[in-house]
Amino acid sequence: MKSKRIASTVLLFLLCGLAWATIAAADPALIAARQKFFGAENVDANTGLVRKDKVIISWTSNTTYAVSVMGRVVLLDTFIDRPELAPPPGVQDLRRTPVSAQDLINLHPEALFLGHGHFDHADNAAYISKWLNDIPIYSSPETCDAIQTDVTRMWNDPNAVNGGVRLIPNNSPPNCIGLVSRGSQPGAEIVKIPQLEPLACIVAFKHIHSGSVPVDPAFPHVTINNIADNRDAALYPTQTRVAPNNPPVPGQMAIQITGGSHGPISLFYQFIVRSGYNFSFVWHNTTGPLKEGSGSDPGLPSPAIGQHLFDIMDSLTPTDLELGSVVSLGQTNNGERDVVMYNQHVKPQVYIPGHQTVVALPSSSPEYRIGWFQQNDAMSVPYSQRPELRWLVDPLDYLKPQIFSTGDPRWSNPNKAGRIAQFCS
């Protein structure tokens, strides 16, 4: 069984990762990073351990989140929007995104989860993993190929502008774990990931990257105004970029993911806490046109495959929180139709939208919020079936922890036990 093969592959690295976390527990940089992402009140100031009775989610930009699941820290995506050099000590930090790749390393996540391999999701993944003793990267096998290319490129980079220091500590094969079969159709398999056991179960399957399809005549058209606040540039002046210029300046490094056909191969994840009221959340960093089943994966376009993906979402353990992309490449023709359809099949109690810093113009988030309400109205979704909305606005809501108590009776659902037995046994 594929999940058992993944389990055996991960076990050794799990043990190594836990040992590393113990060694690094008193590292001042770790403590500072975890307090920065999760809040000082949620992180032990002596050990850096995060509260073990909460799920804490901190938005870093686009669809990148630092997540603590009962004290176990992981990253969902590794991209940083508009990466800029950190100011020296004592100088005011004016960066739009006050995070660097080093911050993500100092956080000491035990694993990296990639939703798909485009730059605005998977940049920095190989670099972060390498500096953390090759912590596992979960993705598609095709994206893992690109991660291997990244390792080779970074190892061979002379990095002259930074004194010729190697970008990564070694060029051994990356610990990238392909979760689904190479070249498979979306929804062909559902896999179980043992990374957070015994505290939490994780399941994943391939879905469809966002895309444009013809106007859907079934619903009134909703226009999404992808426009930025005209004060944006003045409010967030550009600092020295980390992305390499020509010629580069000190501090700039080429640690981005290699582009290629692997980019749109997309994974959908669900995390289920095994204690309390089994708090569960899903994360998908893209939202596809499943109604038409349109995309570049094998077997597409196919409305039948799209419906099968909806059926999988319907069958999952009841979901308390959806972290999902509110942006779609199909928004010109169909507004946020695909977003609302994911909401309807995931059926979360709470929805937190993402992908509001790439494709979506800077500071356009309030426009997408209006569009979400209008789209629900256009599709005649009853208010009782709409999730609680916790909207995020870039960059004001970066690094503001969203905290969920796993013992809150709100998450109680009698249907969870059977689904957990089905997917997590």
Owner of token pair 């995070």 = 99
The per-residue pLDDT for 245 is 83
CA distances from 155 to 108, 165, 248 (A): 22, 10, 18
Q: What confidence score (pLDDT) does residue 24 get?
A: 44
Copy the structure tokens of residue 309. 């993906």
Give the CATH number, domain containing residue 351.
3.60.15.10
- pLDDT over threshold 80, residue 158: yes
Ramachandran angles phi, psi of 352, nearest 5°: -115, 115
CA 3 to chain centre: 21
Overall domain count for the chain: 1
Question: What is the domain extent for residue 173?
Answer: 1-425
Q: Is residue 14 scored above 50 in pLDDT?
A: no
> For the sheet containing 266-273, what is the strand order?
190-193, 200-207, 266-273, 280-284, 321-325, 350-354, 388-389
Q: How far is CA 42 from the centre of its chain?
A: 21
Average pLDDT value for residue range 209-236:
95
Higher-pLDDT residue of 19 and 336 is 336
Longest dimension (CA), the chain: 61
pLDDT in tens, 164-173: 999 999 999 9
* Residues of the chain above pLDDT 70, percent: 94
pLDDT in tens, 363-400: 999 999 999 999 999 999 999 999 999 999 999 999 99
Q: What pLDDT sits at residue 177?
A: 98
Q: How confident is the model at residue 414 (pLDDT cuts 50, 70, 90)?
A: very high
Instruction: Give Cβ neighbours of residue 173 (< 8 Å, ≥ 6 apart).
Output: 148, 151
User: For the residues 21-30, what does the mean pLDDT come to?
Assistant: 67
CA distances from 46 to 24, 38, 363, 377, 401 (A): 12, 15, 37, 50, 20
Residue 9, pLDDT score: 45
The three-class DSSP label of residue 170 is coil
Q: Is the peptide bond before 301 cis (omega within 30 degrees of 0)?
A: yes
C-alpha 282/C-alpha 206 separation (Å) is 13
Q: What is the pLDDT of residue 244?
A: 83
Q: Would you state the pLDDT for residue 265?
A: 98
- 20 pLDDT above the threshold of 60: no
* Positive or negative: CA dihedral 352, 200, 404, 70: negative
The pTM is what?
A: 0.93
Distances (CA, A) of 380 to 298, 330, 389: 33, 20, 17
- Of 108-122, 238-252, 269-283, 378-392, the range with the lowest mean pLDDT is 238-252
pLDDT of residue 16: 43
- 306 near 289, Cβ under 8 Å? yes
